[in-house]
Structure 1
Amino acid sequence: MIDECLVAEFRIEGDECPLARATAQVDVVIDASAPQLRDDGNVLLHFSAPPNDELAEVLDSDPNIRYLHVTRGENAWTYRCLSKHPCVVHRLVNVGFLVESMRYHDGGATMSGAVVGYDVLRGVMETAGQTVGIQLQRVYPLRSEDDEHQSRAWGLTSPQAESLRVAHEMGYFEIPKAVTAAEVADELGISKTAFLERLRRAQSSLCSSVFGQGI
């Protein structure tokens, strides 16, 4: 049995992925599930973003996007489609990277996932180093199983739970604040905008869990 399980975060720049291109044109943050690669090389995408007609139009006009379906909710729109563009993420998946979340913004993407064992981590990092546009942001031990179950119980993704933990430990929620949002974002290795978006979504999930949906 392998004792070490690590969380790794990578930043992807310069990829021709339709979601990356769309966020280069539209100022929006896209949260995506792990892309599913088909045998024919096409990729199934499932993602969400704040309501935005321009984003839907940009995606619908992209020649690499097919069968786009949009479910319009009050606070977020959910998208499902097929992409004809091969995703560089699968190069890391092929050597053992378990994708848990992806976030696209400003023409790039940040992805977070698990790596089981340091030997696998070395293989993932070597592959990332050989893949243009992928850079390792940070690596840290996976939190205990109890903490993971607790995060899921509150409806939090791993990046959201990690952002809350780091913000709390740094004193972001103290009155007055001990640190700024930019300082917490630097510690997490993400942009201030991405941190505040994670925080907003985490707080929304917590409120929904405590007070019920629609409150």
Structure 2
Amino acid sequence: MRFSAQASEELGDYLDGDDRIRYLYQSVTEGRYNYRCLSLQQCVVHKLISAGFMVESLTYRDGNAILTGAVVGHEILQTVMETAGETVGVKLQRVYALRAREDASIAQQWDLTPAQTESLRYAVEMGYFVIPRQTTASEVAAELGISKSAFLERLHRAQHSLFTQLFGGIGEGRPDDDRE
């Protein structure tokens, strides 16, 4: 733990007397005390690992720690979620099972409907996303047996779902935003 505060002998004495803190280091810079110490309490990451969470990555964005990882089994998932619920600021964003069938796991992972998944797959296979485009929206729709507007709606909903999850909900909840 590392922090700074206004110069105060009382705070230093309090921290030094707390049995939960070890190795307190205190320095003074420009009228502020800088503290570094080691807590005997496990951090959130250690608690989750002890509960069975396998950490794949730990990143920091906008002052928040984002853990990505996995658990094996329903009971371990319950234990990890109970542990996460006992900590401050832990939020589950998405749970999906790893499956042998790739199609099912992709749709589950990205919260896509089967129709959205099919529309994306046909669009990719037919070269809709290639620059320059190798096919038109009308041609992809005809291959799917649906109207052009139905295809474009599925495509846009799928893209919205994917991009919202990839970028953490950026742009959500701004209905009067006129940007295109």
User: Structure 2 length normalisation: TM-score?
Assistant: 0.41
Bigger relative contact order, structure 1 or 2 (CA pairs below 8 A, ≥6 apart):
1
- Flag the structure with higher strand content: 1
